[in-house]
Structure 1
Amino acid sequence: MAAAPSLNSLPYEVRQTIYSLVARQTNSNDWRKGPISTIAHYATVSREWQEEFVEPISFKVIRVTPKRLKSFCQIVTSPRRRAIVQTICFHVSLDKYDPHLDGEQETWAERRRSTEILSTALGTFFRAMTQWQRSDTSPLGLDLHLLVDSPSDTSSLVGRNGGPLVTGRALTSYLKLDLEAVSLPHIDVFSGFRCTGRHLQPTSILAIVSRLQTLEYLDVELNHDSTRHRDVKQRNSFALGLQYSETIRVLSLRRPSPMLTPAHTPPRQPWSAFYAHMRAFGQQCESFEFDDCIDALQFFTPFLVGPGIAEPPKGQEVPFFSRLKRLNIRNSYMMKAPYLRVTNRVEALASVHNVLVAIGRATRRMPALLFARVCQYVLTDGQLEWFVLTYEYHAGKAVIRTKGFKPGKIMVSAWRDSAAEKGVKLIIHYEKDDLNVPEL
């Protein structure tokens, strides 16, 4: 009787088909659930299975905790395994707390303890990562996902989407690094950095970013636009510090989870240091995304200068986004504190109109733009209205699609004039099913 064929004797395409069928049955990509034991079992089939199938799945996304850092360093030592790794999720777990403290902020002593845990963990992790060389990783580099939370942050309540809610303490207790005590070495293997979980102060984010020498992608939370001195100082420092991160090309900013305490309506400050620095940094980005953490109207105010709009101070020229290919903006009006930018629907619609006109004019200064999506949400009397404009450029044609409104004459002129100056034909589509949509 002839011997059974080995796995290596099968064509490469057949082996890959077998691997993909097995992988789909193991839920192998959900790192949040921890190591998937069923994948590890297949490593015992043969050395070929281990190297061709198991390790590319097991090491693609690695979840590391401070306690598992030593074993992580021992496991991922060979260049072959390091080249497989695409994302490292470093999960820092804070102290547990009793259920009766769910709705209370951390005390001074507890904040100090959280700072100590985070600072120590990051210092140890960064020192371990100095053993990696850029040549060890894939040409695209590594993504670093920093997740910081407490095991008690997950509430027993269930949200509208069916997932668990987080506690009030998790929403209101911010984190920071002890910048005087921790010393992070420079690392050149990470090209992407994302931070989730507890809100990390922007200046602490900058301290991390400043050590990632080849960072191209940044996805973090930014303090909401309140008038508290601490928030204003943090935002200004963050925006200024970004300008020294010359390698970042993709920036995604998110507001922290909704705060539970109200804040005053922020004043209009389109010419403030924060907006000046953010516009300056935006000019080096290829992709820029933000939500309520930045007011789009204030960011694009230079394109609305005219009657009723204050002239910019000297030194603040109209920005030119020469590299920008993708723009994604989401703002809300009259939702909940601290995002009460307007007092009624009329003011909200006027702001939405101005935002869409300003961005239309701004596209004249975005010669490389391929895609833009501008979403503006208005909540009045319990009813949510959304106004969405999508711009796509392909094969010498630019197409605009709007939803929730009919573009008015001024808005159409802004976008068409910008397209004409770039020698691009503009096509505009808007939904005509609902005759009650407003004209903006």
Structure 2
Amino acid sequence: MAGKPSLNSLPYEVRQTIYSLVARQTNSYGWRKGPAPSIAHYATVSREWQEEFVEPITFKVIHVTPKRLKSFCQIVTSPRRRAVVQTICFHVSLDKYEPHLDDEQETSAERHRSTEILTAALGTFFRVMTKWEKSDTSPLGLDLHLLVDSPSDTSTLVGRNGGPLVTGRALTSYLKLDLEAVSLPHIDIFSGFRCTGRHLQPTSVLAIVSKLQTLEYLDVELNHDSIRHRDVKQRNSFALGLQYAETVRVLSLRRPSPMLTPVPAPLKQPWSSFHAHMRAFSQQCESFEFDDCVDAVQFFTPFILGPGMMPAEAAPPKSQEAPFWARLKRLNIRNSYMMKAPYLRVASRVEALASVHNVLVAVGRAARRMPGLLFARVCQYVLTDGQLEWFVLTYEFHSGKAVVRTKGFVPGRLMVTAWRDSAADKGIKLLIHHDKNGTNAPEL
């Protein structure tokens, strides 16, 4: 009598179909609403199920805290398990605080305590990760997600999307590492790094990035472009320090969570060291995106100069040439021109629309110096008297064809010329479509 067939005797496609059906009935992909059986329960079916089906799902994203580092080391000792890990989320919890302190910033002593907690936790984590070899990790790469917050940071209030809001303290209390006390070893296993939760000072981000020797993807918050001395210093140090992140090819910059106090408008300094270093670094990127933490008008100033576009005194120094993005394939820009603090970049809607126009034209001109560009999205938002206007331009290149689509505005002659000339310079025919649903859409 023939023995009972094993799972491995089934064709690969059949096994994958079975795994897919089981995964849909569990909480493994996190899409189900309501209770669902854990995928871990199926590890007892057989050794084949555990190694081929359960572990690639359960170990794909691992959540670790300082207190769980020892068990983490015990669980992922085998090369087989390490090979299926794609993301390690290291969650550092700060001290709790009373509800009546929700809207107050941390005191000096509390900030010092938060710094101690973060510094000690990262030091321990990095020492643990030195035991991993590059050959242990997944071919897809290993991402590090650093989440730092307090259990008290979640407010009792509910936002518009139905999720809980964070407290004022969480929004206004920044974090930093004690750079004199921390000694992080170099690690070559992480290809991606992302920070969320409390805002981590950019110089502290750089201290971490400098130890990740094979980093390709960086997603961090950058201080809002205010004229406060601390913000200016941090931004300049961050932009200058990026030159040491030689392996990074994907850069995503986000502004911190909405500020609760008004911030003065930044000075117009398109040729400052910050913008010069950011332009220089972006030229090594394959993907580059930023929001309000960088002013697109100032970043793309080299392509805005011209009659009626910028004043004569805005001419670039001879040492600063227009950048050339030889590797760039993807560009994503989001800027706001809001008539309230802290986004006081402009004084009127007319000035805001002029800035939007300048950005859309400048990016079109800059595209000429992006020979490998496949996708670009430029979103500009204007808020006046409680009304939000949005202007979106999308560029896509596929199968030898390029298309520009616009929503919220009618593309004017200067803008059309900029994008068509850039396409023609690459030998590409460009089609331009604009959404005609907006009856009062301005021409830009």
TM-score (norm 2): 0.96
1:387 aligns with 2:391: yes
Cα deviation, residue 4, structure 1:
4.8
1:435 aligns with 2:436: no
Report the residue type matching 1:359 in the other structure: V
Aligned to 2:85: 85
Rounded to whole Å, the distance in 1 between the matches of 2:247 and 2:115 is 28
Q: Is the 8 A contact 1:254 1:292 kept in 2?
A: yes
Q: Which residue of 2 aligns with 1:198?
A: 198
Which residue of structure 2 lines up, in the alignment, with residue 312 of structure 1?
316
1:358-373 aligned within 5 A: 358-373=362-377
Q: What residue is the counterpart of 1:399 in the other structure?
A: 403
CA 1:83/1:89 → structure 2, altered by over 3 Å: closer, same or farther? same
Q: Which residue of 1 aligns with 2:11?
A: 11
Which of 8-17 and 378-387 deviates more? Answer: 8-17
- Offset, 1:27: 2.1
Task: Determine helix, strand or coil for the equivalent of 2:155.
Answer: strand
* Cα displacement (A) at 1:137: 0.8
For the 8 Å contact 2:292–2:334, the answer to whether it is kept is yes
In the other structure, the counterpart of 1:339 is: 343
Gaps of 5+ in 2: none
Q: CA deviation at 1:38?
A: 1.7
The within-5 A match list for 1:50-199 is 50-199=50-199
CA contact (8 A) 2:249 2:285 kept: yes
- Conserved in 2, the CA contact under 8 Å of 1:29 and 1:61? no
Distance in 1 (alpha carbons) for counterparts of 2:436 and 2:343: 31
Aligned equivalents of 2:259, 2:424: Cα separation in 1: 44
Letter in 2 for 1:389: L
Q: 2:138 corresponds to which letter in structure 1?
A: S
The one-letter code of the counterpart of 2:431 is: I
CA contact (8 A) 2:367 2:373 kept: yes
SS of the residue 2:146 aligns to: strand
Consecutive aligned runs of 4 or more in structure 1 exceeding 3 Å deviation: 1-6
Which residue does the alignment assign to 1:266?
266
Q: Distance in 1 between matches of 2:437 and 2:177?
A: 53
User: How far 1:419 moved relative to its partner?
Assistant: 1.1
Contact 1:225–1:338, Cα closer than 8 Å, also in 2: no
How many Å apart are 1:422 and its aligned residue?
1.3
Residue 149 of structure 1 aligns to which amino acid in structure 2? D
Query: Take 1:336 and 1:7, find their aligned partners in 2: how far apart are those partners?
Result: 63
**Cα deviations across residues 213-269 of structure 1 (Å, max 9, x unaligned)?**
000000000000000001000000000000111100000000000010111111111
Q: How many residue pairs get matched?
A: 437
CA 1:197–1:405 in structure 2 vs 1: closer, same or farther (change >3 Å)?
same
Q: Is the contact between residue 25 and residue 37 of structure 2 (CA under 8 Å) also seen in structure 1?
A: no
1:30 positional shift: 4.5
Q: What letter matches 2:53 in structure 1?
A: F
**Cα distance between partner residues in 2 of 1:243 and 1:29:** 38
Q: Distance in 1 between matches of 2:288 and 2:205?
A: 18
Q: Does 1:417 align with 2:425?
A: no
Q: CA offset at residue 396 of structure 1?
A: 2.1
Answering whether residue 221 of structure 2 is matched by residue 221 of structure 1, we say yes
TM-score (norm 1): 0.97
Cα distance in 2, alignment partners of residues 350 and 171 from structure 1: 32
2: CA distance, partners of 1:85 / 1:49: 17
Is 1:280 the counterpart of 2:284? The answer is no
8 Å Cα contact 1:218-1:248 kept in structure 2: yes
Cross-structure match for 1:349: 353
Change (3 A) 1:335 1:148: farther
Supply the AA of the counterpart residue of 2:103.
G
Aligned equivalent of 2:38: 38
